[in-house]
Chain A
């Protein structure tokens, strides 16, 4: 008799009859195989397995064909290369009932296309870690940024600079947003999401190695389902 794999009559999947602790989630690998993992988004972004090509090595991501819900065609052969216009990678379960801090290592790689605008207008194009909470969409990501007539980042006069953008959007209204430009930032720069109580704030690592945080933003409680998705913000809004 076994639990977690159906090999003989009488075997049962974990989901059919077992109890898990509150910080765990049961995921199915195949119709005859499931397993239990911690409800966290942690990953080193390895090549993602294809559905129905399961291993049961017990190693995170390597043997989890249904942990990440992928749409579009992100290239996951060398970390995860996400294209702004078409790709999305979403965690298949939600995380964190209470306070938390998560940290993402990411980087701008390249772009195609063009962008023009009047002096004084702005554009941000990038890929953000997004989530829904309390009826709002929150996000922070690495962006290509135009401030027409002023700067163009990641380069914008700083060849190794990087640009972060965080934003909070609700309905069709203008999103609350802010940008941080980090001159001389190296690749694999980092950003954070932190929740305390029902408030969220974003952190961005500057080129001095110090964390720069946004103000606290009213968010909400409950578990969060994270995803990476392209984002575009256009116009002449007021930077906060």
Chain B
């Protein structure tokens, strides 16, 4: 409680505890016309069809994509909600309603993996998509890409010969 005494020489003996109800607050003017949250540019590794979702649905969702790298603040590519296969994706969620909270932005693969097959050092994947079955590949398999330990000024020892699949596991 804030306490101010205007004239301490004239005592007032006050032990009141007042109860006040606050019912609402609203901005008459001065509120932002809208707010936006923008994700970083998201590299999915290979050109890929992606479903972008924003929550809540009442918020406006826009996204853009390209197969050429771009920065988050670039003017291009346009925010045109493309649906093709792209490697680089970015989304933004927007509302002009002060009662709406911007909850989530999701990048989901527009394909469900059914099968993987391998030939030599490459592999392929079969997906079920909204537009039928889709084969992706070949993907390269890289050997000797596991952990390394420095053992000299210019010497490194391979400590793990784990295989890693380039372009795999990004979701």
Contacts and interface: CB of A to CB of B under 8 A. Distances in A.
Interface of A: 1-5, 10, 14, 17-24, 26, 35-45, 56-60, 63-64, 79-86, 89, 96, 98-118, 120-123, 125-128, 130, 137, 139, 141-144, 146, 148, 167, 169, 174-175, 177, 188, 192, 195, 228-237
B105 to A, nearest CB: 5
B102 interface: yes
A169 B21 contact: no
B56 interface: yes
Q: Main SS of chain A's interface residues?
A: strand
13 contacts: A21-B32, A24-B36, A58-B58, A81-B20, A100-B27, A101-B30, A103-B25, A109-B20, A112-B16, A120-B10, A230-B2, A236-B6, A237-B6
Interface residues of B, number: 59
B100 A20 contact: no
B107 to A, nearest CB: 5
Q: Main SS of chain B's interface residues?
A: strand
Contacts of B42: 1
B101 A230 contact: no
The 8 A-B pairs at the shortest CB distance, nearest first, are namely A23-B32, A100-B30, A235-B6, A237-B6, A58-B56, A230-B1, A127-B20, A24-B35
Contacts of A114: 13, 15-16
Contacts of B104: 2-5, 35, 56
A201 B98 CA distance: 24
A236 B20 contact: no
